[in-house]
Structure 1
C-alpha cells in the first residue's frame, strides 16, 4: 500500500512520520539509560577510538582517491660507515592512477621518509600524524623527503596540482601506517 492509505500505528498515526519523542516513553528512556551505563562500565570505549576516528575523518576532500597498501618489506639491517646498522622499511601503496613507494628509515627518536611517486609528477605531499601535518614539494622526477618525523600513526596525502600549494587537482590518500 502506498500514499495516505499506508500502514498506520495504534490510534491511526503514521509511525514513519511520528518523532522519536512520541515513540519512546519514560520506561524506554530508563531502559536505554541502564543499557548505556552497563556498556560504559563493562565494555568502555578504548581511549584511542576517538583519536583514530578523528584522524580518519580529518580528510578534507571526501572525493579523494584512496591508495591501498600493496607491499611492506623490511630488509635486514644495512651496514653504514659508522659500523652501526640502519633499520629501514619499504612500503608501497597503489591505486589506478598512482603508486607511492616510501622508505622509512629509523633515526634516533624520529624517522625519515624517502619517497617516490609513479608516474613521476611535481605536486605537494603532506604527512598527517595526529593533529600535526608536515608538507613538502615532490619534484618532477616524483621524489620527496620528509625528515624528523615523530613515530606513531601517520597518513600521506598527495595534493595533485601546483607543487607549492597543491591546489588545482584531486587529493590521493594512503591508509594510516605506524612509523
Structure 2
C-alpha cells in the first residue's frame, strides 16, 4: 500500500476486526426510523429493569419476562410463542390501573385497556420490533401526566 501510514494500517485492522466481531445490525435503520416516529410526542421513556432468561423444557423457548420502569410506573411483560411467527404479550402495570395501552409495531398500532389491576394482553403479535406505550386515561387511579413508553424491543 503506497502512501498508507502504519497508523492507518493499524486503524484499518481494528476496523476490520470490529466489523467481523460486532457488525452493524442489518435492521439498524429500521429501528431508528421506528423510534423517530415518536419524535414530536412528549413522553416519559421507561428503562429496561430486568430481563429473565427464557423458560422452557429441553431448551425450547416458551416464554420470557421483561420488566420496564419509569418514575411514574413499572410494567412487567411476559412474551410467549403463539405460533411460528407470532407472540402473545401479557402485561401488568404497577401500580394497577385501568390505563390505555398501545402496542406499536412497524405494521401498525394495536390498542387495549388494562383492567383495574393493571393487567393487559395482546394476542397474535407478529414477531419483530415492538414498543409499548401507556397513555393517561380519564378516570384511572394512576395519575399520568404524559404517555410512558418502553424502548423498542425485538420479539
Q: Same fold (TM over 0.5)?
A: yes
Is 1:120 paired with 2:96?
Answer: yes
Is 1:56 paired with 2:56?
Answer: no
- Which protein has greater RCO, CA pairs closer than 8 Å, 6+ apart? 2
- Counterpart in 2 of 1:152? 128
TM-score by length of 2: 0.72
Note the C-alpha offset of 1:77: 1.1
Aligned residues: 126
Structure 2 CA distance for aligned equivalents of residues 76 and 92 of structure 1? 15
Structure 2 contact 93–118 (Cα < 8 Å) conserved? yes
Structure 2 contact 55–64 (Cα < 8 Å) conserved? no
Structure 1 contact 124–135 (Cα < 8 Å) conserved? yes
Structure 1 contact 155–177 (Cα < 8 Å) conserved? yes
Structure 1: 5+ residue runs without aligned partners?
Answer: 1-44, 80-84
Note the C-alpha offset of 1:49: 4.0
Structure 2: 5+ residue runs without aligned partners?
Answer: 1-23
- Counterpart in 2 of 1:97? 72
Alignment of 1:38-117 (within 5 A): 48-59=27-38, 62-77=41-56, 87-109=62-84, 110-117=86-93
- Counterpart in 2 of 1:18? none
Note the C-alpha offset of 1:170: 1.4
In structure 2, the CA distance between the partners of 1:140 and 1:52, relative to structure 1 (3 Å rule), is: same
In structure 2, the CA distance between the partners of 1:49 and 1:90, relative to structure 1 (3 Å rule), is: closer
